[in-house]
Chain A
């Protein structure tokens, strides 16, 4: 397997499982992209070779245990922060799991990500430190870097449970060009039964898209795009009017380009149905995906994103080093203006 094409095709269309010849490569690929849990659920109930079924069954129960652990960690944060009376909004994997969304099924959940109002940060920080969380980064520059320019506190880790928490006050670094309105996102939050909150459905997708395309170098991007596919499908099924709402929220937070790109690429890679006024369909051969015809025309730049997203082989190795380097440079470019970037890199280089 020279790229991740076989994996994404199988995720999009599990009926293809009968034709898989090289399961070992497929599983290595899925693990490297943190999609083994998603794959295990997608193929659940199909007639598979027993050894494959055993591996996927283990991945499913692993996912269940991870989910329990993530929900417990969210509960620990809730208890620590409840006395403050500030809204605590779960983000990413923990939010999908807590809200019972399809995107949370089999998803690996590393850190606990929460969003709180910016003016409550000092109180939240104090409450977490009092409840057993500790700083990971002791370095003064790193600390300043987070506090002045980032969208989150420096990461904290719990001294007994060894789990990390990322406390966000907005969804993109303060130095990034788009300026999402985090106060509005918190305003639009939805309650969960236990007193925690999640973002509204459109904002969940806006956040996932911002994370993927307006921040970072797309490492692990196939998993994030899978989240977007699951979210779009589930929300569109629930609400026939979802698409205009998504467009509206994306525009309000200055992230329409990122959200459009996310939906376009999810459509190409995972066949995410898109109920919108797409431009006229034009047949086109896509690199890597093996699809000859696609729903609608893909922007030239999207081909580069596809190249990057699928850059992983059947040994789980990253491929296409130049493409990856390009996206790495881009991620820094997006994060901060050039003079600030130069200074930041200078500090980092001198420290090594």
Chain B
């Protein structure tokens, strides 16, 4: 491919090839300061024209790679960075077999990790990004990698993708860490945030998970905490995992160990400050 970028995020290396310069330039800028991988890459992502002429004529980016969805919708070239991010997500979701992959965010403090998972819009991503700016180490906002043998959470600090209302969170951060504002994507307005220097520098350090939270965001919700039993946590995490079924018994073992050893709690919140207070209170209790 004409334009190539290699990226290491935690224990995973990606090779991204593109027919256009733009998406690769945007990736280079967004991931400035990430270590340059030298060895083998786990996954290959290809950004290429859906049909040969669509490289020049109304260019649209088909997201392809080692693993593909047959009916994936191409993305406009203006959103090439989003295409690259989606391509990497796709490889993880469909092809990752070295870890149990949880659709969850994670932060760490004092060598212990907090795992947050919930439906899209529950605020796990925003919450992790926020805590990552407030003294916690950001480990990832999209995927949490649970080691199949060691039971540790392995960091996957990709750029945070903030959408619509969450964009307000970015007002305080260094503009140098921001990607371009992407308007009119299928998911609305999106802007990417590079995790801070500590998150990048320590991306090779796993941590032991000690608490699972199921946050729920709603403007009309009263702040609340509810205990979640191991069985319910197990069921919710199987739904949050993209490779639980494919891993078979190893996935089952890793997940039962996790929910058996950790307390799980559901929290409701209506704004970020409230959530932060709740999280800090629960964390002190552990």
Is A68 a contact partner of B248 (Cβ separation < 8 A)?
yes
Q: Mark A308-327, 1 if CB is under 8 A from B, else 0.
A: 00000001110000000000
Given contacts A24-B41, A65-B247, A69-B248, contact A316 B65 (CB under 8 A): yes
Is A58 a contact partner of B40 (Cβ separation < 8 A)?
no
Q: List 12 A-B contacts (CB under 8 A).
A: A23-B40, A31-B66, A31-B95, A51-B13, A51-B40, A55-B40, A55-B42, A61-B97, A61-B250, A65-B246, A316-B44, A317-B46
Contacts A58-B97, A65-B247, A315-B44 supplied; 4 other A-B pairs, CB < 8 Å: A51-B40, A66-B246, A69-B248, A316-B66
A27 contacts the other chain (Cβ, under 8 Å)?
yes
Residues of B66-112 at the interface with A, using a CB-CB cut-off of 8 Å, are 66-67, 95, 97-98
Residues on the A chain within 8 Å of B246, using CB: 62, 65-66
Which 5 interchain pairs have the tightest Cβ spacing?
Answer: A65-B248, A23-B40, A58-B97, A28-B44, A24-B41
B163 contacts the other chain (Cβ, under 8 Å)?
no
Residues on the A chain within 8 Å of B250, using CB: 61, 65
Given contacts A315-B44, A315-B46, contact A58 B98 (CB under 8 A): yes
Q: Please name the residue on chain B nearest to A313 by beta carbon.
A: B1
Q: Give complex CA distance A52, B250 in Å.
A: 21
Residues on the A chain within 8 Å of B155, using CB: none
Given contacts A28-B66, A315-B44, A316-B44, contact A62 B97 (CB under 8 A): yes
Q: Give complex CA distance A69, B246 in Å.
A: 9
Residues on the B chain within 8 Å of A65, using CB: 246-250
Q: Give complex CA distance A32, B97 in Å.
A: 17
Residues on the B chain within 8 Å of A28, using CB: 15, 44, 66
Q: Give complex CA distance A62, B42 in Å.
A: 15
Q: Please name the residue on chain A nearest to B95 by beta carbon.
A: A31
B36 → chain A closest CB, angstroms: 14
B118 contacts the other chain (Cβ, under 8 Å)?
no
B120 → chain A closest CB, angstroms: 22
Residues on the A chain within 8 Å of B64, using CB: 316
Q: Please name the residue on chain B nearest to A317 by beta carbon.
A: B46
Q: Give the number of chain A interface residues (Cβ < 8 Å).
A: 23
User: B: which residues have CB within 8 A of A?
Assistant: 1, 13, 15, 17, 39-42, 44, 46, 48, 64-67, 95, 97-98, 246-250
Q: Give complex CA distance A32, B250 in Å.
A: 25
Residues on the B chain within 8 Å of A49, using CB: 39-40
A64 contacts the other chain (Cβ, under 8 Å)?
yes
A54 contacts the other chain (Cβ, under 8 Å)?
yes
B105 → chain A closest CB, angstroms: 24
A315 → chain B closest CB, angstroms: 6
Residues on the A chain within 8 Å of B15, using CB: 24, 28
Q: Give complex CA distance A39, B1 in Å.
A: 24
Q: Give complex CA distance A68, B13 in Å.
A: 29
Q: Which of A27, A52, A59, A64 has the most chain B CB within a 10 Å cutoff?
A: A27
Q: Give complex CA distance A62, B248 in Å.
A: 8
A320 → chain B closest CB, angstroms: 14
Given contacts A23-B40, A28-B44, A68-B248, contact A315 B98 (CB under 8 A): no
Given contacts A31-B66, A62-B97, contact A52 B40 (CB under 8 A): yes
Q: Give complex CA distance A68, B245 in Å.
A: 12
Q: Which of B39, B40, B64, B249 has the most chain A CB within a 10 Å cutoff?
A: B40
Q: Please name the residue on chain B nearest to A161 by beta carbon.
A: B245
Residues on the B chain within 8 Å of A69, using CB: 248
Residues on the A chain within 8 Å of B46, using CB: 315-317
Q: Which of B41, B64, B247, B250 has the most chain A CB within a 10 Å cutoff?
A: B41
Is A64 a contact partner of B248 (Cβ separation < 8 A)?
yes
Q: Give complex CA distance A44, B107 in Å.
A: 37
Q: Give complex CA distance A317, B19 in Å.
A: 13
Q: Please name the residue on chain A nearest to B66 by beta carbon.
A: A31
Residues on the B chain within 8 Å of A317, using CB: 46, 48
B68 → chain A closest CB, angstroms: 9
Q: Which of A31, A51, A315, A317 has the most chain B CB within a 10 Å cutoff?
A: A315
Q: Please name the residue on chain B nearest to A20 by beta carbon.
A: B40
Q: Give complex CA distance A62, B44 in Å.
A: 19
Q: Please name the residue on chain B nearest to A23 by beta carbon.
A: B40
Q: Give complex CA distance A65, B246 in Å.
A: 7
Residues on the B chain within 8 Å of A23, using CB: 39-40
Q: Please name the residue on chain B nearest to A58 by beta carbon.
A: B97
Is B66 a contact partner of A54 (Cβ separation < 8 A)?
no
Q: Mark A287-325, 1 if CB is under 8 A from B, else 0.
A: 000000000000000000000000000011100000000
Residues on the A chain within 8 Å of B48, using CB: 317
A269 → chain B closest CB, angstroms: 22
Q: Give complex CA distance A122, B42 in Å.
A: 47
B121 → chain A closest CB, angstroms: 26
Residues on the A chain within 8 Å of B41, using CB: 24, 27
Residues on the B chain within 8 Å of A55, using CB: 40, 42, 98
Residues on the A chain within 8 Å of B67, using CB: 31
A277 → chain B closest CB, angstroms: 43
Residues on the B chain within 8 Å of A61, using CB: 97, 247, 250
Q: Give complex CA distance A23, B17 in Å.
A: 16
Residues on the B chain within 8 Å of A66, using CB: 246
Q: Which of B15, B42, B66, B67 has the most chain A CB within a 10 Å cutoff?
A: B66
Residues on the B chain within 8 Å of A52, using CB: 40
Given contacts A58-B98, A64-B248, contact A315 B39 (CB under 8 A): no
Q: Please name the residue on chain A nearest to B14 by beta carbon.
A: A24
Residues on the A chain within 8 Å of B39, using CB: 23, 49, 51
Residues on the A chain within 8 Å of B249, using CB: 65
Q: Which of A24, A32, A54, A64 has the most chain B CB within a 10 Å cutoff?
A: A24
Q: Please name the residue on chain B nearest to A24 by beta carbon.
A: B41
Is A59 a contact partner of B66 (Cβ separation < 8 A)?
no
Residues on the B chain within 8 Å of A32, using CB: 66
